[in-house]
Amino acid sequence: MDAQADVEVAVAYHSGYGHTKRQARAVAAGARQATGASAVLYDVTELSEELWEGLAQADAIIFGTPTYMGSQSSVFQAFAEASGAVWAAQGWKDKVAAGFTNSAGVNGDKLNVLTSLSLLAAQHGMHWVSLGLPPGWLYSSTGSVEDLNRLGGFVGAMAQSPSDAAASAAPSEADLRTAEHLGRRVAEVAVQLRHGAALLVHQ
């Protein structure tokens, strides 16, 4: 492990209609804002060698999926299942993890998906980084739909895309900035852990 090299943040996502993909890009853009971090997007629809190698190298993996009927998408879940081979060797142990999801409803059981992503990470022995933002849109006097974390998520980043909005129109800027915040925060924690590990080795 080279403390000088960039920390790598992998964004492992599935997107059904493009909305979650926009959220994933915002997460990756946020990760790249952190000093000493790079980010790569992986669409988990194809379970390629490149995917598994990329995730094996990454310092952090941020999981993203739409919420379909209250749970992660079946495409994402097929990826999660296939990660069982990595799990058997505890190949992702001690990596950093986080999660994000998008759905049409304001709540729509998004929390169940974020919790399920955190359980996936826990099975892999990963460290889970929370969103780290207070809830927005909280006060009738000063709150706004344009607030960061307007949906009030904590375990991960939530986004909402109305059923009749194309991926060019949703999620909203507020939700994308929230996703960006998560990416940057995860990258910063990964950098901090990398530096700490390097110091421990040199003691």
Q: Which parts of 173-192 interact with a copy of itself (CB under 8 A)?
A: 189, 191-192
Q: How far is the CB of 174 from a copy of itself (least distance, A)?
A: 12
4 binds a copy of itself (CB under 8 A): no
Q: From CA 127, how far away is CA 118, in angstroms rounded?
A: 9
Q: How far is the CB of 38 from a copy of itself (least distance, A)?
A: 18
Contact 33, 182 (CB under 8 A): no
Q: How far is the CB of 203 from a copy of itself (least distance, A)?
A: 9
Q: Within 57-86, which residues bind a copy of itself (CB under 8 A)?
A: 68-75, 77-78, 80-81, 83-84
> C-alpha 117: how far from its chain's center?
9
Residues in the chain: 203
109 binds a copy of itself (CB under 8 A): yes
Q: How far is the CB of 57 from a copy of itself (least distance, A)?
A: 20
Q: From CA 100, how far away is CA 129, in angstroms rounded?
A: 11
Query: For a copy of itself, which stretch binds (CB under 8 A), given 44-52, 53-61, 148-156, 176-184?
Result: 148-156
Quickly count: other Cβ atoms within 10 Å of residue 135's Cβ: 15
18 binds a copy of itself (CB under 8 A): no
- Residue reference for tokens 């207070």: 134
Would you state the structure tokens that stand for residue 150, as one six-digit string? 């307007």
The amino acid occupying position 5 is A
